[in-house]
Protein backbone atom coordinates (compact mmCIF):
# COMPACT_ATOMS: atom_id res chain seq x y z
CA UNK A 1 0.00 0.00 0.00
CA UNK A 2 3.07 2.26 -0.08
CA UNK A 3 2.55 2.94 3.63
CA UNK A 4 5.33 2.98 6.22
CA UNK A 5 4.80 1.61 9.72
CA UNK A 6 6.58 3.54 12.50
CA UNK A 7 7.20 1.70 15.75
CA UNK A 8 9.06 3.53 18.58
CA UNK A 9 10.28 1.25 21.34
CA UNK A 10 12.11 1.41 24.67
CA UNK A 11 13.43 -1.68 26.44
CA UNK A 12 11.18 -4.10 24.48
CA UNK A 13 10.56 -7.79 25.01
CA UNK A 14 9.28 -10.53 22.72
CA UNK A 15 5.96 -8.72 22.29
CA UNK A 16 7.69 -6.21 20.02
CA UNK A 17 9.02 -9.06 17.85
CA UNK A 18 5.54 -10.59 17.60
CA UNK A 19 4.09 -7.20 16.70
CA UNK A 20 6.56 -6.73 13.83
CA UNK A 21 5.97 -10.28 12.59
CA UNK A 22 2.20 -9.72 12.65
CA UNK A 23 2.50 -6.46 10.69
CA UNK A 24 4.62 -8.15 8.04
CA UNK A 25 2.20 -11.05 7.86
CA UNK A 26 -0.62 -8.55 7.24
CA UNK A 27 1.11 -7.52 4.03
CA UNK A 28 3.06 -4.41 5.01
CA UNK A 29 6.54 -4.25 3.52
CA UNK A 30 8.10 -1.20 5.16
CA UNK A 31 8.54 -0.87 8.92
CA UNK A 32 10.76 1.68 10.67
CA UNK A 33 11.55 0.71 14.27
CA UNK A 34 13.17 3.29 16.55
CA UNK A 35 15.30 2.09 19.45
CA UNK A 36 14.89 4.99 21.85
CA UNK A 37 18.02 4.47 23.91
CA UNK A 38 17.21 1.00 25.25
CA UNK A 39 19.53 -0.60 27.80
CA UNK A 40 22.10 -3.15 26.62
CA UNK A 41 20.11 -6.13 27.91
CA UNK A 42 17.16 -5.15 25.68
CA UNK A 43 19.04 -4.94 22.38
CA UNK A 44 18.32 -8.49 21.20
CA UNK A 45 14.73 -7.79 20.01
CA UNK A 46 16.03 -4.98 17.80
CA UNK A 47 18.66 -7.26 16.26
CA UNK A 48 15.97 -9.87 15.61
CA UNK A 49 13.61 -7.53 13.77
CA UNK A 50 16.47 -5.79 11.92
CA UNK A 51 17.22 -9.12 10.22
CA UNK A 52 13.70 -9.29 8.79
CA UNK A 53 13.01 -8.15 5.22
CA UNK A 54 11.36 -4.74 5.09
CA UNK A 55 12.43 -3.64 8.58
CA UNK A 56 14.74 -0.67 9.27
CA UNK A 57 15.99 0.03 12.80
CA UNK A 58 17.00 3.55 13.80
CA UNK A 59 18.81 4.07 17.09
CA UNK A 60 18.97 6.82 19.71
CA UNK A 61 22.10 6.40 21.81
CA UNK A 62 20.20 7.72 24.86
CA UNK A 63 16.53 7.80 25.70
CA UNK A 64 14.94 10.91 24.18
CA UNK A 65 11.24 10.12 24.55
CA UNK A 66 8.45 8.73 22.39
CA UNK A 67 7.80 12.07 20.73
CA UNK A 68 11.39 12.49 19.62
CA UNK A 69 11.51 8.87 18.43
CA UNK A 70 8.47 9.47 16.20
CA UNK A 71 9.95 12.69 14.83
CA UNK A 72 13.18 10.85 14.03
CA UNK A 73 11.15 8.31 12.06
CA UNK A 74 9.05 11.00 10.32
CA UNK A 75 12.22 12.72 9.16
CA UNK A 76 13.68 9.42 7.93
CA UNK A 77 10.54 8.55 5.95
CA UNK A 78 10.33 12.03 4.41
CA UNK A 79 13.94 11.74 3.22
CA UNK A 80 14.19 8.06 2.27
CA UNK A 81 10.60 7.13 1.30
CA UNK A 82 9.57 9.84 -1.18
CA UNK A 83 6.85 7.60 -2.66
CA UNK A 84 5.28 6.74 0.69
CA UNK A 85 1.62 7.72 0.88
CA UNK A 86 1.73 8.03 4.64
CA UNK A 87 2.82 6.53 7.93
CA UNK A 88 1.10 4.55 10.67
CA UNK A 89 2.42 4.99 14.22
CA UNK A 90 2.14 1.77 16.22
CA UNK A 91 2.96 0.77 19.80
CA UNK A 92 5.25 -2.22 20.13
CA UNK A 93 3.62 -3.83 23.16
CA UNK A 94 1.00 -5.85 21.27
CA UNK A 95 -1.94 -3.54 21.96
CA UNK A 96 -2.43 -2.73 18.28
CA UNK A 97 -3.56 -5.72 16.27
CA UNK A 98 -2.32 -6.10 12.67
CA UNK A 99 -5.88 -6.14 11.30
CA UNK A 100 -6.59 -2.81 13.01
CA UNK A 101 -3.36 -1.33 11.63
CA UNK A 102 -4.49 -2.34 8.14
CA UNK A 103 -7.95 -0.87 8.74
CA UNK A 104 -6.39 2.47 9.67
CA UNK A 105 -4.09 2.38 6.64
CA UNK A 106 -7.01 1.66 4.31
CA UNK A 107 -9.07 4.44 5.89
CA UNK A 108 -6.20 6.93 5.46
CA UNK A 109 -5.83 6.04 1.78
CA UNK A 110 -9.59 6.31 1.29
CA UNK A 111 -9.98 9.63 3.15
CA UNK A 112 -7.03 11.27 1.40
CA UNK A 113 -6.32 14.34 3.51
CA UNK A 114 -7.52 13.24 6.96
CA UNK A 115 -5.48 11.93 9.86
CA UNK A 116 -6.94 8.61 11.01
CA UNK A 117 -7.10 7.62 14.68
CA UNK A 118 -7.51 4.05 15.82
CA UNK A 119 -9.80 4.53 18.82
CA UNK A 120 -10.55 2.08 21.60
CA UNK A 121 -13.96 1.41 23.15
CA UNK A 122 -13.51 2.39 26.81
CA UNK A 123 -16.99 1.24 27.80
CA UNK A 124 -15.96 -2.43 27.80
CA UNK A 125 -15.64 -4.08 31.24
CA UNK A 126 -12.07 -5.30 30.66
CA UNK A 127 -10.68 -1.77 30.30
CA UNK A 128 -8.56 -0.86 33.38
CA UNK A 129 -10.22 1.67 35.69
CA UNK A 130 -7.39 4.21 35.44
CA UNK A 131 -7.44 4.06 31.64
CA UNK A 132 -11.22 4.48 31.37
CA UNK A 133 -11.45 7.39 33.78
CA UNK A 134 -8.28 9.08 32.56
CA UNK A 135 -9.57 9.05 29.00
CA UNK A 136 -13.05 10.27 30.00
CA UNK A 137 -11.61 13.24 31.88
CA UNK A 138 -9.17 14.19 29.13
CA UNK A 139 -11.85 13.68 26.47
CA UNK A 140 -14.14 16.11 28.29
CA UNK A 141 -11.34 18.68 28.64
CA UNK A 142 -10.51 18.39 24.93
CA UNK A 143 -14.14 18.86 23.95
CA UNK A 144 -15.04 21.73 26.29
CA UNK A 145 -11.87 23.80 26.18
CA UNK A 146 -10.17 22.83 22.91
CA UNK A 147 -13.16 22.15 20.66
CA UNK A 148 -11.81 18.69 19.75
CA UNK A 149 -14.27 15.79 19.74
CA UNK A 150 -12.44 12.47 19.82
CA UNK A 151 -13.17 9.12 21.47
CA UNK A 152 -9.61 8.19 22.47
CA UNK A 153 -7.25 11.01 23.45
CA UNK A 154 -4.16 8.86 23.98
CA UNK A 155 -4.31 6.38 21.14
CA UNK A 156 -0.90 5.63 19.68
CA UNK A 157 -2.36 4.13 16.50
CA UNK A 158 -2.47 7.06 14.08
CA UNK A 159 -2.37 7.09 10.28
CA UNK A 160 -0.82 10.29 8.94
CA UNK A 161 -0.80 11.18 5.21
CA UNK A 162 2.64 11.92 3.77
CA UNK A 163 1.90 15.60 3.10
CA UNK A 164 1.73 16.24 6.85
CA UNK A 165 5.12 14.74 7.75
CA UNK A 166 6.98 18.09 7.62
CA UNK A 167 4.38 19.52 10.01
CA UNK A 168 4.72 16.51 12.32
CA UNK A 169 8.44 17.19 12.59
CA UNK A 170 7.84 20.78 13.68
CA UNK A 171 5.44 19.99 16.53
CA UNK A 172 6.95 20.52 19.97
CA UNK A 173 7.17 17.82 22.62
CA UNK A 174 9.68 15.06 23.17
CA UNK A 175 7.77 12.49 25.19
CA UNK A 176 4.11 11.48 25.61
CA UNK A 177 2.98 15.10 25.49
CA UNK A 178 3.94 15.12 21.80
CA UNK A 179 0.85 13.10 20.91
CA UNK A 180 -1.36 15.64 22.70
CA UNK A 181 0.38 18.46 20.85
CA UNK A 182 -0.33 16.64 17.60
CA UNK A 183 -4.07 16.80 18.18
CA UNK A 184 -3.99 20.48 19.14
CA UNK A 185 -1.91 21.46 16.11
CA UNK A 186 -4.10 19.43 13.75
CA UNK A 187 -7.10 21.31 15.13
CA UNK A 188 -5.38 24.68 14.73
CA UNK A 189 -4.38 23.86 11.15
CA UNK A 190 -7.89 22.76 10.24
CA UNK A 191 -6.79 19.19 9.46
CA UNK A 192 -9.74 16.83 9.88
CA UNK A 193 -9.67 13.64 11.94
CA UNK A 194 -11.30 10.33 11.08
CA UNK A 195 -11.85 7.60 13.65
CA UNK A 196 -11.63 3.84 13.16
CA UNK A 197 -12.80 1.70 16.08
CA UNK A 198 -10.20 -0.90 17.02
CA UNK A 199 -10.03 -3.79 19.45
CA UNK A 200 -9.18 -2.84 23.03
CA UNK A 201 -6.21 -4.93 24.15
CA UNK A 202 -4.59 -4.65 27.58
CA UNK A 203 -1.82 -7.09 28.42
CA UNK A 204 -1.16 -7.59 32.15
CA UNK A 205 -3.17 -4.42 32.92
CA UNK A 206 -0.87 -2.46 30.60
CA UNK A 207 2.12 -3.25 32.84
CA UNK A 208 4.69 -2.89 30.04
CA UNK A 209 3.77 0.75 29.37
CA UNK A 210 6.50 3.34 30.04
CA UNK A 211 3.85 5.99 30.75
CA UNK A 212 4.41 7.58 34.18
CA UNK A 213 0.96 8.58 35.51
CA UNK A 214 1.98 11.72 37.41
CA UNK A 215 4.96 13.00 35.46
CA UNK A 216 3.59 12.37 31.98
CA UNK A 217 0.03 13.40 32.91
CA UNK A 218 1.41 16.72 34.14
CA UNK A 219 3.24 17.23 30.84
CA UNK A 220 0.08 16.50 28.89
CA UNK A 221 -2.21 18.74 30.94
CA UNK A 222 0.37 21.52 31.03
CA UNK A 223 0.14 21.66 27.22
CA UNK A 224 -3.66 21.62 27.32
CA UNK A 225 -3.74 24.42 29.91
CA UNK A 226 -1.32 26.45 27.83
CA UNK A 227 -3.53 25.95 24.78
CA UNK A 228 -6.61 26.96 26.76
CA UNK A 229 -4.81 30.14 27.83
CA UNK A 230 -4.39 31.21 24.21
CA UNK A 231 -7.70 29.80 22.95
CA UNK A 232 -10.73 31.72 21.70
CA UNK A 233 -12.59 30.83 24.92
CA UNK A 234 -9.81 32.41 27.01
CA UNK A 235 -9.91 35.53 24.83
CA UNK A 236 -13.70 35.64 25.22
CA UNK A 237 -13.32 35.44 29.01
CA UNK A 238 -10.66 38.18 28.92
CA UNK A 239 -12.91 40.46 26.83
CA UNK A 240 -15.74 39.89 29.31
CA UNK A 241 -13.50 40.80 32.25
CA UNK A 242 -12.32 43.98 30.50
CA UNK A 243 -15.92 44.94 29.74
CA UNK A 244 -16.91 44.29 33.36
CA UNK A 245 -14.12 46.58 34.59
CA UNK A 246 -15.14 49.29 32.10
CA UNK A 247 -18.75 49.01 33.27
CA UNK A 248 -17.81 49.21 36.95
CA UNK A 249 -15.40 52.13 36.58
CA UNK A 250 -17.75 54.14 34.35
CA UNK A 251 -20.67 53.56 36.70
CA UNK A 252 -18.58 54.96 39.54
CA UNK A 253 -17.36 57.96 37.53
CA UNK A 254 -20.80 58.85 36.12
CA UNK A 255 -22.52 58.37 39.46
CA UNK A 256 -19.99 60.57 41.30
CA UNK A 257 -20.02 63.13 38.50
CA UNK A 258 -23.81 63.46 38.57
CA UNK A 259 -23.79 63.74 42.34
CA UNK A 260 -21.20 66.53 42.18
CA UNK A 261 -23.35 68.22 39.51
CA UNK A 262 -26.20 68.54 41.96
CA UNK A 263 -28.14 65.28 41.74
CA UNK A 264 -28.33 64.49 45.44
CA UNK A 265 -30.21 62.02 47.60
CA UNK A 266 -33.59 63.10 46.26
CA UNK A 267 -32.56 62.17 42.74
CA UNK A 268 -30.69 58.98 43.67
CA UNK A 269 -32.89 56.62 41.64
CA UNK A 270 -32.53 58.70 38.47
CA UNK A 271 -28.81 59.20 39.09
CA UNK A 272 -28.19 55.46 39.53
CA UNK A 273 -30.32 54.68 36.47
CA UNK A 274 -28.39 57.16 34.31
CA UNK A 275 -25.05 55.85 35.59
CA UNK A 276 -26.12 52.24 34.99
CA UNK A 277 -27.38 52.87 31.45
CA UNK A 278 -24.41 55.06 30.49
CA UNK A 279 -21.86 52.58 31.79
CA UNK A 280 -23.64 49.61 30.24
CA UNK A 281 -23.89 51.24 26.79
CA UNK A 282 -20.15 51.96 26.71
CA UNK A 283 -19.12 48.59 28.18
CA UNK A 284 -21.25 46.62 25.72
CA UNK A 285 -19.77 48.58 22.81
CA UNK A 286 -16.30 47.78 24.14
CA UNK A 287 -17.26 44.11 24.51
CA UNK A 288 -18.76 44.03 21.01
CA UNK A 289 -15.60 45.49 19.44
CA UNK A 290 -13.30 43.13 21.33
CA UNK A 291 -15.37 40.06 20.46
CA UNK A 292 -15.73 41.05 16.82
CA UNK A 293 -12.10 41.96 16.12
CA UNK A 294 -9.98 40.10 18.70
CA UNK A 295 -11.93 37.06 19.86
CA UNK A 296 -13.88 35.77 16.85
CA UNK A 297 -12.26 37.87 14.09
CA UNK A 298 -15.54 38.25 12.27
CA UNK A 299 -15.50 39.64 8.73
CA UNK A 300 -19.27 40.21 8.58
CA UNK A 301 -20.67 43.74 8.39
CA UNK A 302 -20.68 45.80 11.58
CA UNK A 303 -24.39 46.49 11.27
CA UNK A 304 -25.42 42.85 11.01
CA UNK A 305 -23.24 41.64 13.87
CA UNK A 306 -24.25 44.60 16.07
CA UNK A 307 -27.96 43.83 15.65
CA UNK A 308 -27.41 40.14 16.43
CA UNK A 309 -25.21 41.06 19.41
CA UNK A 310 -27.86 43.25 21.05
CA UNK A 311 -30.61 40.74 20.33
CA UNK A 312 -28.54 38.20 22.24
CA UNK A 313 -27.83 40.72 25.03
CA UNK A 314 -31.55 41.41 25.54
CA UNK A 315 -32.40 37.70 25.46
CA UNK A 316 -29.59 36.93 27.92
CA UNK A 317 -30.71 39.65 30.35
CA UNK A 318 -34.33 38.49 30.13
CA UNK A 319 -33.36 34.84 30.61
CA UNK A 320 -31.28 35.76 33.67
CA UNK A 321 -34.20 37.63 35.24
CA UNK A 322 -36.71 34.85 34.60
CA UNK A 323 -34.44 31.97 35.59
CA UNK A 324 -33.30 33.58 38.83
CA UNK A 325 -36.92 34.23 39.74
CA UNK A 326 -37.92 30.68 38.80
CA UNK A 327 -35.13 28.87 40.66
CA UNK A 328 -34.79 31.19 43.65
CA UNK A 329 -38.44 31.71 44.47
CA UNK A 330 -40.56 29.10 42.73
CA UNK A 331 -38.28 26.03 42.88
CA UNK A 332 -36.04 26.57 45.91
CA UNK A 333 -38.33 28.91 47.84
CA UNK A 334 -35.57 31.37 48.65
CA UNK A 335 -36.02 35.02 49.39
CA UNK A 336 -33.72 37.96 48.73
CA UNK A 337 -30.23 37.78 50.11
CA UNK A 338 -27.05 35.73 49.83
CA UNK A 339 -28.69 32.50 48.60
CA UNK A 340 -30.55 34.34 45.87
CA UNK A 341 -27.29 35.95 44.81
CA UNK A 342 -25.68 32.51 44.62
CA UNK A 343 -28.50 31.33 42.35
CA UNK A 344 -28.00 34.38 40.14
CA UNK A 345 -24.27 33.71 39.93
CA UNK A 346 -24.87 30.07 38.89
CA UNK A 347 -27.49 31.08 36.32
CA UNK A 348 -25.29 33.81 34.84
CA UNK A 349 -22.33 31.43 34.56
CA UNK A 350 -24.46 28.99 32.57
CA UNK A 351 -25.73 31.81 30.38
CA UNK A 352 -22.14 32.98 29.90
CA UNK A 353 -21.19 29.59 28.38
CA UNK A 354 -24.33 29.62 26.21
CA UNK A 355 -23.57 33.18 25.13
CA UNK A 356 -20.10 32.13 24.04
CA UNK A 357 -21.50 29.39 21.82
CA UNK A 358 -24.22 31.65 20.36
CA UNK A 359 -21.73 34.43 19.61
CA UNK A 360 -19.35 31.96 18.00
CA UNK A 361 -21.95 30.21 15.88
CA UNK A 362 -24.41 33.05 15.13
CA UNK A 363 -23.47 36.58 16.15
CA UNK A 364 -19.91 36.61 14.84
CA UNK A 365 -20.02 33.60 12.53
CA UNK A 366 -17.96 34.31 9.40
CA UNK A 367 -20.50 34.10 6.59
CA UNK A 368 -17.97 35.49 4.14
CA UNK A 369 -15.00 33.39 3.02
CA UNK A 370 -11.86 34.59 4.78
CA UNK A 371 -8.84 32.26 4.83
CA UNK A 372 -7.23 34.31 7.58
CA UNK A 373 -10.17 34.05 9.95
CA UNK A 374 -9.37 32.01 13.04
CA UNK A 375 -11.17 28.79 13.79
CA UNK A 376 -13.37 29.75 16.71
CA UNK A 377 -13.52 26.31 18.26
Contact between 35 and 62 under an 8 Å Cβ cutoff? The reply is no
Co-location of 213 and 241 in the same domain: no
How many domains would you assign to the chain? Answer: 2
CA 252 – CA 271 distance, rounded (Å):
11
Domain containing residue 51: CATH number:
3.90.550.10
Closest CA to 78 of 188, 153, 170: 170
Residues 83 and 204 grouped into a single domain: yes
Is 203 found in the same domain as 178?
yes
pLDDT class of 337 with cuts at 50, 70, 90: low
Statement to judge: residues 176 and 216 lie in one domain: yes
Do residue 213 and residue 272 come from a single domain? no
CA 367 from centre of chain: 24
Q: Residue 93's pLDDT band (boundaries 50, 70, 90)?
A: confident
pTM as predicted: 0.61
What distances in angstroms separate CA 356 from CA 64, 141, 144, 318, 363, one per listed residue? 41, 17, 12, 17, 10
Are residues 120 and 153 located together in one domain of the fold?
yes
pLDDT at 340 over 80: no
Residues 99 and 136 in one domain: yes
Answer whether residue 376 is part of any domain: no
Mean pLDDT of the 309-336 span: 77
**Pick from 200, 222, 244: which residue ends a domain?**
222
Distance CA 264, CA 15 (A): 84
Other beta carbons within 10 angstroms of residue 232's beta carbon come to 19
Same domain, yes or no, for 213 and 242?
no
Q: Are residues 202 and 276 in the same domain?
A: no
Separation of alpha carbons 254 and 262, rounded Å? 13
- Mean per-residue pLDDT for 246-263? 87
Q: Name the most confidently modeled range: 9-18, 247-256, 334-343.
A: 9-18
Burial class (CB in 10 A: 0-12, 13-18, 19+), 269: exposed
Domain with 50, as residue range(s), is 3-222
Amino acid sequence: MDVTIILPSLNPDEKMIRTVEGILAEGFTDIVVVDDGSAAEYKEPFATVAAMDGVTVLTHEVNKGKGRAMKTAFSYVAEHRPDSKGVITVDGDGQHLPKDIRACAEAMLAEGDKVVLGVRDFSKPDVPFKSRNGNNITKAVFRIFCGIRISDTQTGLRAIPAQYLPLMGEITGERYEYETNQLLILKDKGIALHEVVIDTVYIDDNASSHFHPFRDSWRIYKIIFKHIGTSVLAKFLGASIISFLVDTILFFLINVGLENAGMGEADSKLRIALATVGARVVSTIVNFCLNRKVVFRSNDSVGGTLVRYYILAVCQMTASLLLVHLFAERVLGLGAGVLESIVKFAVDMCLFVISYQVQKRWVFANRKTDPTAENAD
